[in-house]
Amino acid sequence: MTSSEILLITRVRTINKGNQALSSAWVAMLQRAFPDAGLRLMERRPHHLLQYTLRRFASARDPIREFEAVTTKLARLAPGPSFVAPVRAEPHVVLDEKVARQPHFAALRQRLNLRRWAARAGRYKVQYQQRLAACQRARLVVLNPAGEFFPEDPNPALYHLLDLYVAHKLGQPTAIVNHTLDVKDPTLRRLIPHIYRSLELVGFRDEKSVDAFRAMGGDTRNVLVTPDLALTIPRPTAPAPRTGKIAVALHSPAASWSNRTSSWMDLIVALERKGFDISLISNELPSDQAFFDAVMQRARVRVEGAKLEYDRYCELLGSYDFIVSSRMHTSILAMVAGTPVIPVEASSFKITGLFQELGFATPVIQPSSAGWTDQVVDSALRMRDQRAAAADEVITRISAARERITAALLPRLRQAVGPS
């Protein structure tokens, strides 16, 4: 392999321990696949692209033709690979759990969308040209959108698709990896099959995404399915589980979107009444802290895991008897640490897809079903009696998944760049 660069577009600075774990796992995988290449990290969703809206493509007579015109125009901004210096620093993903203070008149600023106007005025053009130059330097461009194909909000997916297709138009091998394709927007559903067929690699986290892709008319010849790459992070030193100590990790924004916040509150109280010593945990604590504060007014619980990097958080997860979780990456890091999980779906099908990919027979609990909180309590009582067997199954299935991911992904990444 000649010395060159690989470009990874991912979360570089994040409030989410799961994103930190996932990005770090991709750094390690790409360094393993291309040991003689430099690795450059760039943040997702460049500001220059905020000038474009999904409405623009949806209102066009031919959305695909309009998308082609926009991305061709963007690609013409590329200044050449010498516009940025060769990468030298070791890539590093930063966790910053501080909650950003809302500026004065934040709601007004959001309505005015000043950043979009700044993008239209060229405020971020040079920054974007540096990104294009990095694409031109790269032997392979890898985009990791992770969970940012939201069924509720299609805009992040649009920016990822623009970013991805421009890299492709610059003539570089391009891959989108590690994502769940839960997309409802009709314009995106037209664009995605057109864009994806041009890529060297399309990586989904589960077969449910492949089914969704086929339903859009997608061609699966360049598709690879591997479970979430965070499963490959180093295993922590296993602490002894604290008997009777469990943790609850819920995706409180998703609970709010679906009006299930009070149901989660009742569930935590019900678990406490069954004698469980409960901690509240989160891989995205700034998003969940307000709900946690409300829970602590009703139940004798505590919050653990704040300010822990993903590896230390994984170690903490190994200290619980089991975890009730609607956060996918907390579920993953817990299982890497050997801790059983009672999975509850959040707002998508990604947790269901994950547990199906891992081969667990026990179904993921769906909060849209009647009596779902009772199902969680019943599962917790069974888990209390069967913890050892459940932990053994977790260790076996995670080991198999790690081997599967590495065996499948390494050759496909190398194949994407072609011969040296």
pLDDT digits (tens, 9 = 90+) for 26-74: 999 999 999 999 999 999 999 999 999 999 999 999 999 999 999 999 9
Q: What is the CATH number of the domain that holds 192?
A: 3.40.50
d(CA 382, CA 404) in angstroms, rounded, equals: 30
Q: For 269-289, write each residue's pLDDT tens digit.
A: 999 999 999 999 999 999 999
Burial-class residue 130 by CB neighbours within 10 Å (0-12, 13-18, 19+): middle
Q: In terms of residue numbers, what domain contains 339?
A: 245-400
* CA angle in degrees (0–180, nearest 5) for 175-58-131: 35
Q: Is the pTM of this model over 0.85?
A: yes
**DSSP code, position 156:** H
Are residues 204 and 259 part of one domain?
no
Are residues 86 and 153 part of one domain?
yes
> Is residue 271 situated within a structural domain?
yes
Are residues 137 and 78 part of one domain?
yes
pLDDT at 1: 35
Are residues 277 and 217 part of one domain?
no
- Per-residue pLDDT averaged across 358-381, rounded? 94
Q: Distance of alpha carbon 353 from its chain centroid, rounded?
A: 14
Are residues 52 and 150 part of one domain?
yes
